[in-house]
Amino acid sequence: MDRIRIGILGYGNLGRGVECAVAQNEDMELAAVFTRRDPSGMQTASGVPVYCVDELLGKKDDIDVLMLCGGSATDLPRQTPAYAEHFHVVDSFDTHANIPQHFAAVDQAAKKAGKVAMISVGWDPGMFSLNRLYANAILREGSDYTFWGKGISQGHSDAIRRIPGVRDARQYTIPVESALASVRACENPELTTRQKHTRECFVVAEEGADREWIEKEIKSMPNYFAEYDTTVHFITEEELRRDHGGIPHGGLVLRTGKTGTKGQHNHVIEYSLKLDSNPEFTACVLTAYARAAYRMSREGITGCKTVFDVAPAYLSPMSPEEMRAHLL
């Protein structure tokens, strides 16, 4: 069997996660890693060579699908359309509001080049989106809820780190249990931001810093914390490393709805993720969609695709017969 040759652009947490995920898939192999940093002396966990991004186009013939492992703020809006002109690509673009314009730019590039470009793959957007779509298509009269956490929010942790006197910080987003219970009981609550999530912060302060002031700065920060019930714990650098070194995340998508001649029957559809490593799980989703991109391209399909456009069978290494026998 010819294995699907995967390239990785960007060797941060997500890129390393893809490297691990590819090793778990027998029908794939990692061809090379590309970086914008100086590759000399860079070592991959799998021993696969690291090249400078300038060499990427020259290695076109060695790569079936290129995984774009950069960030949504500045990397992907530029990279995905640019590389879709040369490769089948997969990205995890997650700036929800900008998806329509990202889709349009990538679709144009991919169609012109005859490539398949999967965008916004991961868990939200990604698996959560899929569950919103399926649940909405099934329960036509109902309410949608998405909760995030318990997990580390990188953006909120960064916001705390920018406060003077803060050496390091981790912020956990946590769903409010009573809100979840109300949703599951089909009470159709209308929930404010404050009622859905709490925020818990673990902060390492500089020596001599004014902790009371820091706590007030955090709790009053608009958009990030002011709209939430926020708890702040000051801990040592050692405690932060020991107890908060991981990148866990997760969350829940729920839809409740009614059926019956009088709407007398309630139904709850719930999808949840509990992830020890947010980037490694995201990488696993990207990898499954790399398989789909490759297979769809073999059928002559081109253009930009999201998880909504991919028949589930494309994701599995099993044959259709095996799937029907073992998974259906």
Site residues (vs a copy of itself, CB under 8 A): 17, 20-21, 24-25, 45, 96, 99-100, 103, 120, 125, 127, 129-134, 136-141, 184, 259-261, 264-277, 280-281, 283-285, 288, 291, 306-313, 315-317, 320-321, 323-325, 327-328
In whole angstroms, how close is the CB of 44 to a copy of itself at the nearest point? 11
Torsions phi, psi for 47 (to 5 deg): 85, 0
What's at 293, amino acid-wise?
Answer: A
In whole angstroms, how close is the CB of 124 to a copy of itself at the nearest point? 9
Helix, strand, coil share of the chain (percent; to 5) = 40, 30, 35
Nearest residue (CB) to a copy of itself, 101 versus 236: 101
Nearest residue (CB) to a copy of itself, 129 versus 230: 129
In whole angstroms, how close is the CB of 222 to a copy of itself at the nearest point? 26
Nearest residue (CB) to a copy of itself, 59 versus 184: 184
In whole angstroms, how close is the CB of 131 to a copy of itself at the nearest point? 8
- Of 162, 256, 151, 164, the residue nearest 210 (C-alpha): 164
- Of 24, 41, 22, the residue nearest 32 (C-alpha): 22
* Whether 94 contacts 103, CB under 8 Å: no
In whole angstroms, how close is the CB of 141 to a copy of itself at the nearest point? 6
Nearest residue (CB) to a copy of itself, 94 versus 215: 94
- Of 127, 131, 171, the residue nearest 151 (C-alpha): 171
| Alpha helices (H) along 114-200 | 127-138, 154-161, 177-184, 193-196
Torsions phi, psi for 95 (to 5 deg): -85, 90
* Whether 36 contacts 93, CB under 8 Å: no
Nearest residue (CB) to a copy of itself, 38 versus 328: 328
Nearest residue (CB) to a copy of itself, 61 versus 299: 299
Distance CA 258, CA 240 (A): 46
In whole angstroms, how close is the CB of 28 to a copy of itself at the nearest point? 10
